[in-house]
């Protein structure tokens, strides 16, 4: 079931009305037993306070005094625990405008379906900074199925996001250079299969990257009489790191031949990334 904005707003309104209440009189909830249980709860809160993330909990049948947010909220966003909890919808107000709609839909989905919420959002700090949080939240229900409380944790992933954005910008620059350079540039895997080539190569050969991907370069572009030699040279370059220049006859899609002077370099991979050969 896909939750909509109206569902999310109804949930937020309901939550806000709960938070403005005071805790009910009578026996304490299971969360606040007397004696040894109270000591255990105090130790639990001390543990939560030490976790390097923002931990939060809100009972849906209690007042604002029963809500909890760890003190890391102040170091991360500039709001004290008291300030954060006194305004029952402050957390919603601080969500970046560009992420509010998505947050509403995903939070409402959690409330309506019971599935955990796992997502990342931008949150506005008190001083105007944008902080990225990866959030993990869960709705816990009573034995009778009624909603009981929400608990979750938010990890500050701002530095990770900044690195990702910088890498993406670098990739965009490299791709722009790759596609505008006049030389033919082809990326091959260790077996000589085409992974990608630039616009100059596409224009010269008449083949698109999509239809060429996965084909051995010497089977598609190199003239049949030069294919075996080209393959042997490629393997030498791959295994011995040779970078001497060579010449081969390449055949375009329309059957014309071109004499290509070429060299290659090995781009070594890691355990997470493969090795490529740049021709």
Contact 126, 79 (CB under 8 A): yes
The conformation of residue 21, written as its DSSP 8-state character, comes to S
End-to-end Cα, the chain, rounded Å: 50
For the chain, what is the mean pLDDT?
Answer: 79
pLDDT (tens digit per residue) in 36-78: 555 655 555 665 566 678 888 887 766 555 678 888 889 899 9
Per CATH, domain 5-162 is 1.10.1270.20: no
Q: In what order do the strands lie in the sheet with 130-141?
A: 68-69, 54-59, 147-156, 130-141, 117-124
pTM recorded for the entire structure: 0.53
Residue 63: per-residue pLDDT? 56
pLDDT (tens digit per residue) in 169-182: 877 776 777 666 77
Residue 120: per-residue pLDDT? 93
Q: What dotted CATH number matches 179-278?
A: 3.30.450.20
**% the chain with pLDDT above 70:** 75
Contact 265, 242 (CB under 8 A): no
Cβ-based burial of 272 (10 A; exposed 0-12, middle 13-18, buried ≥19): exposed
Within the chain, all domains assigned CATH 3.30.450.20 are found at 5-162, 179-278
Say what angle helices 97-113 and 5-19 make with each other, to 10 degrees: 80
Q: Identify which has the larger pLDDT, 22 or 118.
A: 118
Collapsing DSSP to helix, strand or coil, 163 comes out as helix
Whether residue 232 has pLDDT greater than 60: yes
Dihedrals φ, ψ of 207, to 5°?
Answer: -105, 145
pLDDT (tens digit per residue) in 122-142: 999 999 999 999 999 998 888
Measure the CA–CA gap between 48 and 42, rounded to whole angstroms.
10
Residue 29: per-residue pLDDT? 44
- In 71-195, alpha helices (H): 72-77, 81-86, 90-93, 97-113, 158-180
Residue 27: per-residue pLDDT? 35
Measure the CA–CA gap between 259 and 231, rounded to whole angstroms.
16
- pLDDT (mean) for 185-198: 90
């Amino acid at each position: 079931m896909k939750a909509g904005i109206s569902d999310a707003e109804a949930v937020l309104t309901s939550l806000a009305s709960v938070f403005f209440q005071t805790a009910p009189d009578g026996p304490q909830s299971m969360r606040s037993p007397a004696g040894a249980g109270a000591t255990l709860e105090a130790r639990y809160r001390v543990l939560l306070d030490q976790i390097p993330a923002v931990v939060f909990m809100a009972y849906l049948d209690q007042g604002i005094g029963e809500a909890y947010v760890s003190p890391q909220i102040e170091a991360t966003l500039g709001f004290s625990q008291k300030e954060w909890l006194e305004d029952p919808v402050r957390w919603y107000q601080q969500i970046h405008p560009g992420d509010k709609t998505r947050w509403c839909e995903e939070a409402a989905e959690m409330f309506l379906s019971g599935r955990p919420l796992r997502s990342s959002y931008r949150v506005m700090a008190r001083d105007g900074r944008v902080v990225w949080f990866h959030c993990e939240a869960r709705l816990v229900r009573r034995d009778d199925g009624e909603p009981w409380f929400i608990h979750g944790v938010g990890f500050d992933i701002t530095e990770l996001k900044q690195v990702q954005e910088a890498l993406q910008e670098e990739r965009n620059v490299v791709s722009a250079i790759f596609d505008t350079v006049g030389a033919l540039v082809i990326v091959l895997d260790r077996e000589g299969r085409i992974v990608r080539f630039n616009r100059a190569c596409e224009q010269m050969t008449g083949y698109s990257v999509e239809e060429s991907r996965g084909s051995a370069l010497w089977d598609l572009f190199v003239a049949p009489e030069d294919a075996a030699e080209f393959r042997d040279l490629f393997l030498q370059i791959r295994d011995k790191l040779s970078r001497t220049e060579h010449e081969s006859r390449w055949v375009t899609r329309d059957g014309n031949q071109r004499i290509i002077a070429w060299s290659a370099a090995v781009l070594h991979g890691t355990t997470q990334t493969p090795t490529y050969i740049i021709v």
